[in-house]
A = this chain, B = another copy of it.
Amino acid sequence: MKVYEIEHEVLYYEGDMTGKLNLPTILNLAILSSTEQAIDYGVGPEYTHNLGLGWIILQHIIDIKRRPEIGERIKVSTHAKELNPFFCKRDYTFVDAQGIEIIKIDTLYAMIDMTKRKMARIPEDIAAAFDPTIVKKIARQTAPLTMTDDMSSQQQDYRVRFTDIDSNQHVNNSKYLNWTQDILGPEFLLAHEPRHVNIKFEHEVRLGEIVTSRVAVIGNQSRHQIIAGDELAAEASIDWTENQ
């Protein structure tokens, strides 16, 4: 097991109205750490793309003890925890300047063949580079709580923008979380802190598409769907605590 660590200062434009690191950027920083790890080990995006392959994220489970403030220096460490021929489980841990763990993410990855657009075997050299525990089966993550038709829900449309697409030519992962939280509105978002986020990706959304973000709030839990056309693009549930 090889753990990789990056340092980051939370910049003002990564904060939201609360002065804390915004939710989507938590995912960006996580992906930054594992991308830098892969580049450092010689198996970065360029290497995988040359093989016609790419990592895709299937699910994130995020636990937040405390979101760091703008100006705080944090460390994000990551390692590939478990790996089998088709899936990889990765941990991300955010710690503050006092070394206290503030955010933890458990992520499930798969590899796809970029031309055939279907699952591919993870090449052994890439797997080996991260020195994970090789396992037969990777335990499934808990699914997000599902929104059902009997729940009263709200919805809003969002258009995929040019800056939502990253240099991998895909909608950046964090944008789904942006649409997911935005529908809740400022009143809710300023009165609550996200504590547990479970987001599962089902279908990729493309540039220029209009997605519908749906939410049902029950107590301090919100259940979300991101819909593109007739397809469920992502599903999420979030546990919140009320601010004092």
Contact = CB atoms under 8 A, between A and B. Distances in A.
A206 to B, nearest CB: 10
Task: State the copy count for this chain.
Answer: 2
Question: Could you tell me the dominant secondary structure of chain A's interface residues?
Answer: mixed
Contact of A12 (B32, B165, B185): B32
A51 interface: no
Contacts of A31: 12-13
A103 B16 CA distance: 27
Contacts of A184: 162
B167 A19 contact: yes
Given A182-B161, A186-B208, A207-B186, A16 B166 contact: yes
Nearest to A17: B165
A28 B163 CA distance: 14
Contacts of A32: 11-13
Nearest to A19: B167
A139 to B, nearest CB: 29
Interface residues of A, number: 37
Given A162-B185, A163-B22, A169 B11 contact: no
A15 interface: yes
B174 A162 contact: no
A15 B18 CA distance: 25
Interface string A87-102: 0000000000000000
Contact of A17 (B13, B25, B167, B174): B167
Interface in A23-70: 24-25, 28, 31-32, 35, 70
27 contacts: A12-B31, A12-B32, A12-B167, A13-B31, A13-B32, A13-B166, A13-B174, A15-B166, A15-B167, A16-B163, A16-B166, A16-B167, A17-B165, A17-B166, A18-B167, A19-B167, A24-B163, A156-B159, A158-B159, A162-B181, A162-B182, A162-B185, A162-B186, A163-B178, A165-B186, A185-B208, A186-B208
